[in-house]
Amino acid sequence: MEIVSCPFCGKENPPESETCQYCQARLIPLKINPASQPDSIGQPPEEESPAKSNKDQVPESQDGLQAAGEMNRSEAAPVSDASDWLSGFRNQINTQDLSSQPVAQDDGPRPEIRDIHPDIESGTMQNDSIRSLLFTDAGQKEEQPPENSVIGPQDVERTGDTAADDLAWLRELQSQYQQVESLSSAGSKKDEDWSAANELSQDSQKREDDVVPSWVDEIYAGPRDEKEAESDLGLSPAELPAWLDATRHSGTHQDIFSIPSDYGGQVEIAGPLAGLPGILPAEPEIALGRKAAAYPAQLQVTETNRVQAEIFDQVLQSEGQNQPIPDRGLVTSQKVMRMAFAIIIIFAILVPVFSLQTLERYPPIAPVAVLTASQIISSIGNESPVLVAVEYEPGFSGELDAALAAVLDHLMIQEAFLVFISSNPTGPLQAEHIVTVSNQVGSHQYVNTEGQIEYINLGFIPGGPAGLRNFAENPRLSNPSDISGEPAWQNPVMMTVDDINDFSLVIVASENQDKSRAWIEQAGTLLANTPLIYIVSAQSEPLIRPFFDATPRQVQGIVSGVIGSVQYGTTIGRQGIAQLYWPSFNSGLLAAAILIVIGGGANALLVLNAIKNGRKKGGN
Amino acid sequence: MTTASFASSIFLLLFGGLIIYFARFKPGTSNSALRDVPAFSKIRRGIGLAVEAGQQLHLALGHGGITGFKGGSGLIGLSLLERIARAASNSDRPPVATSGEASLTFLSQDTLKSVYRLMYAESQYDPEAGQLTGLTPFSYAAGAIMVVNDPEVSTNVFAGHFGSEIGLIIDAAEQNDSLTSGGSDDLQAQAILYAAAQEPLVGEELYAAGAYLQVNPYHLASVRAQDIVRWVLAGGILAGAILKAFGLI
Amino acid sequence: MKSNPFVYLLVAIAIASGATVLVGYFFPSLAEIKGEMLDWAVIFTAVLLLIGVVSLVRTHWRKTMQDHNDRVYSLVLIISFILTLLVTVPSGPTSKWSMWLYNNLIIPIESSLLGILAVFLIYACARLFNQRMSIYTLVFIGTVLLAMLGWVTIPGVELEGFKDFRDWLLSVWAVAGVRGILLGVGLGTVATGLRVLIGADRPYGS
């Protein structure tokens, strides 16, 4: 059984169907009665409604136009059938000179008429599109004006008049199409539609025969009979260029709908370009009714993508939420350990204080630095000015008070005149404090009153190392008065001092190696014969020792920390603060060593165990 | 001019010339010239956290001022502050700098203000971002502990002159579960940092901070110049020791 | 980024000042100018100290006025500051009541902080392996223990060997390490100063 494919949806329909079962598109295009077509464009048709007189002859159909197409199909008439309403156009166009010669100026742009017969037969032509596809813009066609022609206003008017005359046939055609449209919309008027369509097609065929150029007809209907063409127009057919000839389709209606095997591209199956390969589809692919590809509803993601998407989702959800700061636990393992350590240390320090037994074992041997310092101080004469730089912070009073007090005790025994200075803001106060402590521990009476001046507090040296240098070079100018504002250099002892080298001894007490070094660098270079002794914290002793070990010595003596003060007191045979501190200091130090060994060992074992189990990476 | 002065001036000229040469003519990149120091990676991570997670970065500048030998570390701290401020200027919580010396405080405020001005965000500048927490070392530490105890502070960087009191600040930071990293020019502070801090900078690593954090090309050039001069000094010391051992000098 | 043109003037002043002081160290003819500029630096430092005190008080006053978490401590600071001023300004810094404040408040508070520091350092040494597991940590802990044992005296136990070893450790290894570190720190300081001198580093803002 012959099967007809719908040009729109591509589905198969029985041959007798006028419309597609699926998309209702016309399978049989409407045919206009050529008898109703005027002989030439612009002339009214002979009959206004010729379709009505032939309604009895029209077979039953929903659309007279389709019936016309069906009739044409059953006749298997070629496109160039005389009953085709476009034949009228063809005849008219054939009379025109379609060569490449320039168009005469008085002719003006003439609309070109294309063969739409195949489209009507196939039923793909929509009524509105018929009008739009009938004529192309003549202005788009490249025109070569005559060489010597001058276009003047009169020529423009003439061109317009000519165009108006040429368009009269268009108006006639439009009126005929309106009749066709009314026929197609009236589904019950089958017979009338059929006759009207037949007449319209015949009329249009006449006009087509008059207007449509022969080469257009040959494109759709194959090569024409040359004799017929010559008889119609009295002109020899034009030679088509090769590329245009190659686009011609010489097949029948069936060939239009079948895809030639030698063409790989898509062949157009509907519209005026039906049969041409490589044409962009007029209708969107969605109208072709192809079955859509089936895609899985579930998004194909990998496990990694899923995890990352979940994390991202959590981040987004938490973005607007306030993250409460987690409360720090009152009792944590770290705090417990700290507390335990502190209790053990405090217990170790307090036990010697409250125990009846005292630890009388002191460090036995005094180092050379301590011995040298004691020897230098022993050589200080009565009322000799000794400069004491108090450069340690109040926090280090516990350690350095003991060391400095032992040295000051020795100086006070020697009845030296003490001059205190400091580059620390709290240094002058610390100096007053250590004098008080030394008086209490050593039972001395060093005072600074109006009647008795045994020491002077020169106060604070501003400017850091630069200030130290200034003081070393000219102490009178740097600090002209003492801390209470009284003139400092009017004392008989002070009057003998012009620069730092005039002091009998310079003592620097500091916990900080920077301050210690600053004194050596700024003031020590100016000391020619004046010895320099350092009283330092145990933490900075290694940094000052090179100055003692150097040749020549830049520092003549070092008393370091609690141990140094104990050794110094032992050397001069005096019991000072250090001897009171020593038992607690000793036991505390021992407890600290034990804690470090036990705690460090336990931590090391835990870490090694964790590394062994692969839970923790090794250290740096 | 004495011999020592002449030698010193030659040394300074050569050192400065090396810095300028490496900065201008042989820029190089930090990846190729510098060894890996984990502390700077952690500091960079802290800067990133300050920007992305809305956490605060605390830079401790110490109490050494800008004069004298202690001033070098203070200037390094200011360079780091500028770099950190540039990176974290659009953070919800801009960095805070604490110092124990007035000149450092004003310079830190000026540095922060300049950075915000360059970023066209001067309105975001807060003078309290550069704080003077104390005038003595221990009072400075006590004031810095208040800043470190803030739960929003996630990273503490130490770049300046500190003494033993740095241990108190590190202790407070440890209790706050925040990162502690940095260095000092003081040896006692370095020892405490090594024992207590998570990422210490030992020796002159602090002075290479500008190169690692890409403050400007001159910092990288300085590190390369220092390496050369260090080798020269080491060679000179070794040569002197050998000559002294053989009684030649 | 736009740069303030005034910065170039600041850079010029900084470079000129630094260069003058540096050259003054090498050429005696410029020593007078160098000394003058150092005097200015000393004065600036003292003035900055005063301004720093004012800034400190102003910051804590602002915290006291605002709804700040630690406003109580700021209030304590301001009260202490006022009290100290009232005591020391009329009678002097070394008067009876000034020394009472110093002896009974400042020294105990700072000494306590140092005591806390001692406990913290012991705890930090104990858990150093947990933080940094390496051979250097073992060397560090071992050196600490040797130094401590070189100081203590235990009844009935002779620790002279530890003492001699400690002395050798300190005089050779510690001193050598210190010198090396100080050399590096010195080079770094010189490099930092040179960068300021050539205008590469501008701590005064840009």
Task: Express each pLDDT in B128-162 by its tens digit.
Answer: 889 899 988 999 999 999 999 988 898 999 999 99
| Chain A stretch 338-377, residues whose beta carbon is closer than 8 A to a beta carbon of chain C | 338, 341-342, 345, 359, 361-363, 367
- For A320, A407, A502, A528, the CA distances from A505, given in Å and listed in that order, are 71, 12, 9, 11
pLDDT band at C184 (very low <50, low <70, confident <90, very high): very high
The answer to the question of residue A80 being in a domain is yes
Q: Cα(A144)–Cα(B82) distance, rounded to whole angstroms?
A: 75
Question: What is the rounded distance in angstroms from the CA atom of residue A418 to the CA atom of residue A414?
Answer: 11
Asked if residue A277 has a cis previous peptide bond (ω within 30° of 0), the answer is no
CB contact under 8 A, C99 and A586: no
Q: Which H or E run includes A369? A: helix A368-378
Going by C-alpha positions, the residue among A399, A365, A347 that lies closest to residue A581 is A399
For residue A526, pLDDT beyond 60 = yes
Residue of chain A whose Cα is closest to the Cα of B152: A325
Cβ–Cβ contact B41 with A under 8 A: no
Q: Which amino acid, one-letter code, is at A286?
A: I
Hey, which chains touch B, using 3+ CB pairs under 8 Å? A, C
Transcribe A331-396 into DSSP letters. Answer: S-HHHHHHHHHHHHHHHHHHHHHHSS-----------HHHHHHHHHHHT--TT-EEEEEE---GGG
User: Assign residue A464 a region: left if phi > 0, alpha if psi is -120 to 50, beta otherwise?
Assistant: left
3-class secondary structure, A137:
coil
Q: What is the mean pLDDT of residues A365-372?
A: 88
- A86 — phi, psi (to 5°)? -80, -10
Residue A427 tokens read as 């240094």
Tally of CB atoms within 10 A around A600: 22
Residues A160 and A269 placed together within one structural domain of the fold:
no
- Answer yes or no: is A206 within a domain: no
- Residue A466 covered by a domain: yes
A85: number of Cβ within 10 Å: 35
Question: Is C102 in contact with A426 (Cβ distance < 8 A)?
Answer: yes
Residue to test with chain A: of B63, B70, B174, B198, most A Cβ within 10 A: B70
pLDDT in tens, B78-92: 999 999 998 887 777
Residue A492 Cα, gap to closest chain C Cα (Å): 23
Spell out which residues of chain A touch residue B70, defining contact as CB-CB under 8 Å. Answer: 514
Same domain, A137 and A224: no
- Nearest-by-Cβ selection for A542 from C110, C149, C178: C178
E strand or H helix that includes residue C83: helix C71-91
Any residues with CB less than 8 A from the CB of A26 and at least 6 apart, and which?
A18, A19, A20, A63, A65, A66, A69, A123, A124
Structure tokens at A37: 């077509």
The torsion region of residue A71 among left (phi > 0), alpha (psi -120 to 50) and beta comes to alpha
CA angle A519, A523, A527 (to 5 degrees): 130
3-state class (DSSP) for residue B226: helix
Q: Are A1 and A54 a contacting pair, CB within 8 Å? A: no
Q: Of B24, B40, B1, whose CA–CA distance to B224 is shortest?
A: B24
The single-letter code of the amino acid at B13 is L
| Predicted confidence (pLDDT) per residue in C74-106, tens digit | 999 999 999 999 999 988 888 899 999 999 999
Q: Give Cβ neighbours of residue C78 (< 8 Å, ≥ 6 apart).
A: C57, C60, C61, C64
Q: Return the number of CB contacts < 8 Å for B and C.
A: 177
Gap between the Cα atoms of C158 and C143, Å rounded: 19
Q: Which segments of B61-151 does DSSP mark as H helices, in order?
A: 71-87, 102-118, 137-148
Contact between A334 and B164 using a beta-carbon 8 Å cutoff: no
C132 in contact with chain A, both atoms CB, cutoff 8 A: yes
Instruction: Cite the beta strand spans of A530-582 per DSSP E.
Output: 532-536, 557-560
Does any CB of chain A come closer than 8 Å to the CB of residue C102? yes
- In angstroms, the CA B20 to CA B217 distance is 10
Which tokens belong to C46?
Answer: 């003292």
Please report where in the chains the tokens 């502390």 appear, as a residue: B39
Q: Quick check: B99 pLDDT over 90?
A: yes
| Contact flag A607-C111 (C-beta cutoff 8 Å) | no
Residue A593 near chain C (CB below 8 Å): yes
Angle at Cα C13 formed by Cα C7 and Cα C15, nearest 5°? 100
Confidence of residue A296 (pLDDT cuts 50, 70, 90): confident
Nearest chain B residue to C188 by CA: give it: B207
- Residue C69 touches chain A, beta carbons under 8 Å: no
For residue B19, give both structure tokens.
Answer: 């810095």
Domain that holds residue A419: 368-575
Confidence at A323, pLDDT banded by 50, 70, 90: low
Query: Which of A98-112, A380-394, C55-69 has maximum average pLDDT?
Result: A380-394
Confidence class for position B52, pLDDT limits 50, 70, 90: confident
Distance between CA atoms of residues A326 and B28, nearest Å: 46
CA dist., res. A222 & res. B101, Å (int): 103
The answer to whether C204 touches C15, Cβ cutoff 8 Å, is: no
Q: How far apart are CA C42 and CA C39, in angstroms?
A: 5
What is the spatial distance between Cα A424 and Cα A433, in angstroms, rounded to a whole number? 14
Number of neighbouring beta carbons within 10 Å of residue A447: 12
pLDDT for A326: 63
CB contact under 8 A, B68 and A465: yes
The tokens of A468 are what? Answer: 């130290």
Residue of chain B minimizing CA distance to A469: B68
pLDDT band at A510 (very low <50, low <70, confident <90, very high): very high
State the DSSP H helix or E strand holding residue A385, giving kind and residue range, or none if neither. strand A385-390
Looking at mean pLDDT, say which of B123-137, C106-120, C144-158 comes out highest: C106-120
Whether A325 is covered by a domain: the verdict is no
- What's the CATH number where A472 sits? 3.40.50
Does A514 contact B188 at a Cβ distance shorter than 8 Å? no
- Is A475 part of any domain? yes
CA R_g for chain A:
61
Residue A572 C-alpha, separation from nearest chain C C-alpha, in angstroms: 21
Cα A106–chain centre separation:
67
Verify whether the Cβ–Cβ distance C203 to B75 is below 8 Å.
Answer: yes
Could B186 and A512 be called an inter-chain contact, meaning their C-beta atoms sit closer than 8 Å? yes
Measure the CA–CA gap between A83 and A31, rounded to whole angstroms.
9
Strand pairing report for A4-5 and A12-13: antiparallel
Cβ A592–C134 below 8 Å, yes or no?
no
Six-digit token string for C21: 């002081």
Q: How far is CA B195 from CA B231, C21, C129, C144, C188, in A?
A: 29, 39, 10, 11, 23
Percent over 90 (pLDDT), chain A: 25
CA B30 to chain C, closest CA, distance in angstroms equals 17
Whether A194 contacts A179, CB under 8 Å? no
For residues C197 and C19, the answer to whether their CB atoms sit within 8 Å is yes
CA A70, CA A221: separation in Å to the nearest integer?
A: 18
Listed by start position, the domains of chain B span 1-33+216-249, 36-215
| Other chains touching A, judged by 3 or more CB pairs under 8 Å | B, C
Choice among A11-25, A421-435, B63-77 with the minimum mean pLDDT: A11-25
φ/ψ of residue A551, rounded to 5: -125, 115
CATH number, span B36-215: 3.40.50
C50: contact with A, CB 8 A cutoff: no
Residue of B65, B69, B233 lying closest to C183 (CB–CB): B233
Yes or no, beta carbons of B135 and A425 under 8 Å apart: yes
Which residues, at least 6 apart from B75, have a Cβ–Cβ distance to it below 8 Å? B66, C192, C193, C196, C201, C203
Q: What is the mean pLDDT of chain A?
A: 73
State yes or no: ipTM above 0.90: no
Is A153 found in the same domain as A269? no
User: Average pLDDT in the A378-393 region?
Assistant: 93
| Domain count within chain A | 3
Confidence of residue A69 (pLDDT cuts 50, 70, 90): very low
Taking CA atoms, what residue in B is nearest to A394? B138
Taking CB atoms and an 8 Å cutoff, what residues of chain A touch B187? 513, 543
CA distance C26 to chain A (A): 16
Range list of H helices, chain C: 6-26, 31-65, 71-91, 96-101, 107-126, 128-131, 135-149, 160-168, 175-197
**pLDDT at residue A145 is higher than 50:** no
Question: Which among B87, B120, B88 has a CA at the least distance from the CA of C1?
Answer: B120
Which tokens in the block code for residue A49?
């409604």
**Cut 0.80: pTM above it:** no
Residue A118, classified by CB atoms within 10 Å of its CB into exposed (0-12), middle (13-18) or buried (19+), is buried
Cα gap A468→B174, rounded to integer Å = 38
Determine, yes or no, domain membership for A342: no
The pLDDT of residue B237 = 92
Q: For B165, which residue in chain A has the nearest alpha carbon?
A: A395
Task: Say yes or no for a CB contact (<8 Å) between B103 and C45.
Answer: yes
* Cβ neighbours of A393 in C, within 8 Å: 110
A174 and A232 co-located in one domain: no
Inter-chain contact B128–C62, Cβ cutoff 8 Å?
yes
Q: Which of A68-77, A331-340, B158-167, C167-176 has the lowest mean pLDDT?
A: A68-77
Q: What b/e readout covers B130-168, taking b as 16+ CB neighbours within 10 angstroms? A: bbbbbbbbbbbbbbbbbbbebebbbbbbbbbbbbbbbbb
Q: For residue B11, what are its two tokens?
A: 């040394």
Residue B207 has pLDDT above 90, yes or no: yes
pLDDT number for residue A198: 54
What are the backbone dihedrals phi and psi of residue A13, each rounded to the nearest 5 degrees, phi first? -135, 155
A291 CB within 8 Å of a chain C CB = no
